[in-house]
Amino acid sequence: MRRTKKERQRLLSETIAENPFVTDEQLATQFQVSVQTIRLDRMELSIPELRERIKDVASKNYENEVKSLPIDEVIGEIVDIELDNRALSIFDVQEEHVFQRNGIARGHHLFAQANSLAVAVIDDELALTVHSNITFVKPVRAGNRVITKAIVIGRDDLNHRTKVEVTSTVNGETVFVGEFDMYRTKGKGE
C-alpha cells in the first residue's frame, strides 16, 4: 500500500530522528520511493543531508567529551563515545583520499581515522600511541563509508598504558584492524 506524501514525510522525520545516520538510499528502499523523492522530502522538512546531520550530532554530543585532542583533530566524525570504553567514527572516502591510478584509498587515511579514535577514547588530557599492530584487510575506494569502532581491551595503570582494539568496516565487511598500545599520563584514581 502506497503512503500519502504527508504520512511518508511524518515517518521519514521519525526515522531520521531515531537514526540520524541513515542514508538517503536506505530511506528510499525503506519507503519504496526514489532517492530524489527522499531528498525532496528532506528539503521540504528542512532536514539536512547525512553529512551535516553527522557533524551536528558529533559537535553537540562529543565536543566536551573528548579530552585527549580537539574534536576537530579527529579524522572522521565521532558518532558515539564512552571514554575509556568504546568509540565509533564515520569517514567518507572522497576522491582526494585515493590513488589516482587505481582508486584505492591511501592507507594513511584509514590509519589516521583508527589512530585518532584510539587517542580520543582515552580519558586523559594526554594520550600518545606507543605501538600499533595494524592490518589492512581489504581495499577501500572513493565513495565508501568507513565505520571505525575502538574498544578499550586492557589497562595497565602502573605503567600508564591502555590497549585499544580498532576495527574498520565498509558495508559490514572488515577492511582494517589494529591494536594500539596507548600511553596516558594518569593511572586509575590519579
- pTM > 0.85: no
Compute the average pLDDT of residues 158-176: 94
**Please, what is the average pLDDT of the chain?**
87
Q: What pLDDT was estimated at residue 181?
A: 96
Candidates 1.10.3720.10, 3.40.109.10, 1.10.10.10, 3.90.1170.40; correct CATH number of 3-56? Answer: 1.10.10.10
Identify which has the larger pLDDT, 45 or 164: 164
Fold classified for 67-182: Thiol Ester Dehydrase; Chain A (3.10.129)
Q: Give strand pairing partners of 176.
A: 136, 168
* Per-domain residue ranges of the chain: 3-56, 67-182
For residue 50, name the pLDDT band (cuts at 50, 70, 90): confident
Sorted by sequence, the CB contacts under 8 Å of residue 156 that are 6+ apart come out as: 162, 163
Highest mean pLDDT among 23-27, 74-78, 162-166 belongs to 162-166
Q: Which of 28-37, 62-71, 78-87, 142-151 has the lowest mean pLDDT?
A: 62-71
Strand order in the sheet with 145-156: 77-82, 86-92, 145-156, 161-170, 173-184, 127-136
Pairing of strands 77-82, 86-92: antiparallel
Per cent of the chain over pLDDT 70 is 87
Q: How far is Cα 93 from Cα 109, in angstroms, rounded to an integer?
A: 9
Provide the pLDDT for residue 56.
67
Q: What is the pLDDT of residue 187?
A: 62
> CA quadruple 164, 148, 91, 79: dihedral positive or negative?
negative
Provide the 8-state DSSP code for 164: E
- For 149-159, what is the mean pLDDT? 93
Question: In angstroms, what CA-CA distances link 45 with 40, 131, 160?
Answer: 9, 48, 49
